[in-house]
Amino acid sequence: MASGPRVVAELGRPETPEETAARKAESSRVYRSSQTFRNLVAALIVTVAVVAIVYFGVPRGTPPETEPVDVAAAAAEAQASSGEAIIVPEVPDAWRANSAGIKNGAWHVVYAPPKGFVRIAQGFSVSETWVSNLLGGRAPTDATTIDGIEWDVYALNGDKGLTYALATTAGADTVVVYGSTTQETGEIVADALADQIRDLRKDAP
């Protein structure tokens, strides 16, 4: 015996052709939406996998470390070009020289000790305000004698990254030892410069 139209429980009667079509259309829409979501998730997983392969699979390594500056060679070149007697301290082997050269009428060397940094500046016949300008307008706070050479002492508070400085004259020149450094480190440099400073003073007119 042939069955009649299917009775829908929610309606309490058979569906009309329009209701059947609407129900099937809604089912198709829900199915397509679920497929679209699954496709998006799959695409995201593939993208993440590709990025991971590129990130972890491509060798990057580390850039080669730059060679330390040859201060003695730079000083010889600067002396030949400027005609000035250039000072070169003998610092501990563990200290790395990062730069050396003449800039704005002065010889500058930057060393990297185990902690912080220390600079040596030799101003050629500079003005009386040169040291103050170099140290951010600071005035000396004390004086000390290192290997027979008297130095002005600057206890700095970290302005411009500086914590300690020493300054003295060397004939017509002015020498400054300064940086983000300790008193002990500054005095190591000052001690290493003592003989050269005496020579500059002796040769001064």
| Gap between the terminal Cα atoms of the chain | 133
pLDDT computed for residue 29 by the predictor: 72
pLDDT tens, position by position, for the chain (205 residues)?
555 556 655 656 676 777 677 777 777 776 666 667 677 777 778 787 777 777 666 655 555 566 789 999 999 999 999 999 999 999 999 999 999 999 999 999 999 999 999 999 999 999 999 999 999 999 999 999 999 999 999 999 887 899 999 999 999 999 999 999 999 999 999 999 999 999 999 987 7
Confirm if 203 and 195 have CB atoms less than 8 A apart.
Answer: no
pLDDT computed for residue 142 by the predictor: 96
Strand positions, DSSP E, the chain:
7-8, 13-14, 96-103, 106-112, 117-123, 142-146, 149-155, 164-170, 173-180
pLDDT computed for residue 143 by the predictor: 97
Confirm if 123 and 116 have CB atoms less than 8 A apart.
Answer: no
- Rounded to two decimals, the pTM is 0.68
Tell me how far apart the alpha carbons of residues 51 and 57 are, in angstroms, rounded to a whole number.
Answer: 10
pLDDT computed for residue 184 by the predictor: 95
- 80 forms beta bridges with none
Tell me how far apart the alpha carbons of residues 89 and 189 are, in angstroms, rounded to a whole number.
Answer: 7
For tokens 């002065």, the residue is 106
The strand pair at 96-103 and 164-170 is best described as unpaired
pLDDT computed for residue 45 by the predictor: 84
Q: What share of the chain is helix, strand, coil (3-state, %, to 5)?
A: 40, 25, 35
Helix spans in 83-166 (H)? 130-134
pLDDT computed for residue 44 by the predictor: 77
Which phi and psi angles does 29 have, rounded to 5°? -65, -45
pLDDT computed for residue 159 by the predictor: 77
Strands of the sheet with 117-123, listed across from one edge: 96-103, 106-112, 117-123, 173-180, 164-170, 149-155, 142-146
